[in-house]
Structure 1
Amino acid sequence: MKFAIVGTGGVGGYFGGKLAAAGYDVTFIARGAHLKAIQDKGLTVKSINGDFVVSPAKATDSISEVGVVDVVFVCLKAWQVAAVAAELKPLVGADTVVIPLQNGVMATDELRKALGTDHAVRGLCRIFSKKEDDGVINHFGIEPTIIFGEDSNLLTPRILKIKEALEKAGVKVIIPKDIEAEAWKKFLFICSSGLLAVMRSPYGVVREIPQTRQMLYDLFVEIYQVAIAKGVHLNPEIVDKTMAMVDTFDYNTTSSLTRDVMEGKPSEIDYQNGTVVRMGEMLGVAAPVNKFIYDCIIPMELKARGFIEVE
């Protein structure tokens, strides 16, 4: 099978690296100094499960030169997907499957607008990882897992074929009974990143202070209520289960959105807490904690994107 990894950061670099290390034909889409490092020295993956290097590694900054592949993993930031979706057409043949691994719940629909309804399936991943340096990916938490499936939740031949390839590469795969519910479970959790960014603190700090712990709990409740209003089938226990999961994290754990905001970079805030606020307004569900987080981060987001200047 041929794979294209669009976005070779913490997510794409790790999962694409595992596929390439297993002998699959993988092309990494990257840019700048990161691309050059991969081309010159290969892709280095540091992992709590064992380090490895993919060398040589196929990498380019030109999507059009890759050609048609069997599977495209879209591993860009959520806010980049809509802009790049149409550019993926040269990768997509009649049987190509496109799997987004973004945070949020909008990427699949954005891809379908550009590529048609037959190619993109719903997907998400679980991993704590980041680009540590040019050509270097660091996986530092959680068992890396890819979760994906058809809207129908049927085990179609294409889903099973991709599952087999990933498992042969040593990647844990879950094909859930309800992919939409799984996407919202991840979405519910990841929106906590905005609270960490506002507090400029890791999970350990936020969970141990009574006031911020309550805000975290209320944030989860709001997202659960929005999901239910939207018709997503979530178990009420998801809020308490998510809090319990947070309690297992290393004290200094953060997330990519948290780090982006704290480092003054553009973030996924519009696709996380911003999405909760907008959906809540449409569905008549109040989301005051999420709105507070979103409103607090917007000035920093506008500055990071160059829309405002602060001396």
Structure 2
Amino acid sequence: MNTSPMRICIAGAGAIGCTLAARLAASGQAVNVLARGTTLASIQRDGIQLSDLDGEHRVRVNASDDPRAFGEQDLVLLCTKAPALAQLLPQIQPLIGADTVVVPVINGVPWWYFHGQEGRFSGQRVKAVDPQGLLTDALDLRHVLGCVVFITAHCPTPGVALANNPHLMIFGEPDNRLSQRLERVRALMESAGIEARATDRIRDNLWTKIIANITSNPLSVITGATLEQLYSLPELRALVSASLHETLLTAAAHGARVSIDPQTFLELGAGMGPVRTSMLQDYDKGRPLELAAIGDAVLELAEHMAIAMPITRNLIALARFRGDQARH
């Protein structure tokens, strides 16, 4: 396996991007960060600061808004919101060489979901997240390594990230092979102090995160509730449970094995504490909501299997209404 230093670029300097950049740079890696605007200016001036369970990390990185400044990379981590991918993927072409590994660190159903799968949906695209095929056309899917990230973080100011829960990342090839590049990326993240796992069933873990997102994010926008409130208050927990069971049925229909039982899922959610979901944070700031990837795409996969998701569908509709109202 190749053990030479990796050329690493993090595209997107939000909470997750800054967390990963700080951990990787603190472990001795030379990190490039693709950012823009006030965030870019802040990182160029002050570097990146991360406060997590291991303490305070202050690092310097090479930051630019022009990917040509970095050249071809070995590893590109896409740390943006799903709606930004259509604009981002064409921009990162200067970073992509013949063997570049691209890891989308995004929420919801990824556009590559059916890539590498056998069966009747093989090669199809998820229309909710890639309606015109722009994502599929912009990046050869052989570069993609699947990822599920369990990191809760937020940026109180640009270039500064707070992450007060353990970091976990799970990686897997879309075709479920246990490849050398999979192990190399896993080992890299582990060396940066992040719990990192490799799996030959990445979609199982995807569905675990999809369930966490779809049962919490839309309802948090509707109610303003934290994770602790969503998963523990009886009047909210009932809605969460209904959506949870609808999504579990859809996951099972697509062949996924979710290892966490519903009761444990609710307990884990409540144990996250007074955390505001990423979608609620976006709502508060008047930003677009990730409802296509987190919500609509799940409904689309349910429709493939003729599964009705009435509770979840209504929660998504209400969250979309709230989001639209806040932006107009």
TM-score > 0.5 by shorter chain: yes
The corresponding residue for 1:287 is 309
* 1:262, distance to aligned residue in structure 2 (A): 3.4
Given that residues 178 and 200 in structure 2 are in contact (C-alpha distance below 8 angstroms), is that contact kept between their aligned partners in structure 1?
A: no
Q: Which amino acid aligns with 1:153?
A: N
* 1:35, distance to aligned residue in structure 2 (A): 0.7
Q: Which amino acid aligns with 1:298?
A: R
The corresponding residue for 1:114 is 138
Q: How does 1:75-154 map to 2 (within 5 A)?
A: 75-108=79-112, 111-141=135-165, 143-154=166-177
2:19 is paired with a residue whose SS is helix
Given that residues 29 and 61 in structure 1 are in contact (C-alpha distance below 8 angstroms), is that contact kept between their aligned partners in structure 2?
A: yes
What's the CA shift string for 1:83-113, capped at 9, x where partnerless?
3222221111111100011011224456554
The corresponding residue for 1:37 is 42
Counterparts of 1:127 and 1:221, CA distance in 2: 24
Counterparts of 2:111 and 2:69, CA distance in 1: 24
1:73 is paired with a residue whose SS is strand
The corresponding residue for 2:189 is 166
Structure 1: runs of 5+ lacking an equivalent: none
Counterparts of 1:112 and 1:232, CA distance in 2: 23
**TM-score under structure 2 length normalisation:** 0.86
Counterparts of 2:91 and 2:297, CA distance in 1: 25
* 1:211, distance to aligned residue in structure 2 (A): 2.3
Relative distance call for 1:270 and 1:301 in structure 2 (3 A) is farther
Counterparts of 1:66 and 1:30, CA distance in 2: 12
Matched, 1:264 2:286: yes
Of 248, 251, 255, the residue aligned with 1:224 is 248
What's the CA shift string for 1:226-255, capped at 9, x where partnerless?
1222233335x54333112113221x1221
Q: Which amino acid aligns with 2:248?
A: Y
The corresponding residue for 2:123 is none
Of 19, 29, 40, the residue aligned with 1:24 is 29
Given that residues 82 and 107 in structure 1 are in contact (C-alpha distance below 8 angstroms), is that contact kept between their aligned partners in structure 2?
A: no
Q: Which amino acid aligns with 1:23?
A: G
1:125 is paired with a residue whose SS is strand
2:313 is paired with a residue whose SS is helix
Of 204, 211, 220, the residue aligned with 1:181 is 204
* 1:64, distance to aligned residue in structure 2 (A): 2.6
Q: Which amino acid aligns with 2:63?
A: A
1:118 is paired with a residue whose SS is helix
Given that residues 279 and 290 in structure 2 are in contact (C-alpha distance below 8 angstroms), is that contact kept between their aligned partners in structure 1?
A: yes
* 1:186, distance to aligned residue in structure 2 (A): 0.7
Given that residues 112 and 120 in structure 1 are in contact (C-alpha distance below 8 angstroms), is that contact kept between their aligned partners in structure 2?
A: no
Of 17, 21, 25, the residue aligned with 1:12 is 17
What's the CA shift string for 1:113-146, capped at 9, x where partnerless?
42212101111211110112022111122x1111
The corresponding residue for 1:242 is 265
Given that residues 78 and 107 in structure 1 are in contact (C-alpha distance below 8 angstroms), is that contact kept between their aligned partners in structure 2?
A: no
Q: Which amino acid aligns with 1:263?
A: K
What's the CA shift string for 1:38-80, capped at 9, x where partnerless?
101111112232111003x210111232210000000100111
CA-based RMSD of the aligned residues comes to 1.8
Counterparts of 2:55 and 2:95, CA distance in 1: 31
Q: Which amino acid aligns with 1:202?
A: T
Counterparts of 2:246 and 2:88, CA distance in 1: 31
* 1:281, distance to aligned residue in structure 2 (A): 2.9
Counterparts of 1:294 and 1:172, CA distance in 2: 32
Counterparts of 2:158 and 2:272, CA distance in 1: 27
The corresponding residue for 1:209 is 233
1:218 is paired with a residue whose SS is helix
* 1:283, distance to aligned residue in structure 2 (A): 2.4
Q: Equivalent pairs: percent with the same residue?
A: 26
Counterparts of 1:238 and 1:148, CA distance in 2: 22
The corresponding residue for 1:299 is 321
Counterparts of 2:178 and 2:235, CA distance in 1: 44
Q: Which amino acid aligns with 1:98?
A: V
Counterparts of 1:82 and 1:124, CA distance in 2: 20
Q: Which amino acid aligns with 1:22?
A: S
**TM-score under structure 1 length normalisation:** 0.91
The corresponding residue for 2:7 is 2
Given that residues 232 and 266 in structure 2 are in contact (C-alpha distance below 8 angstroms), is that contact kept between their aligned partners in structure 1?
A: no
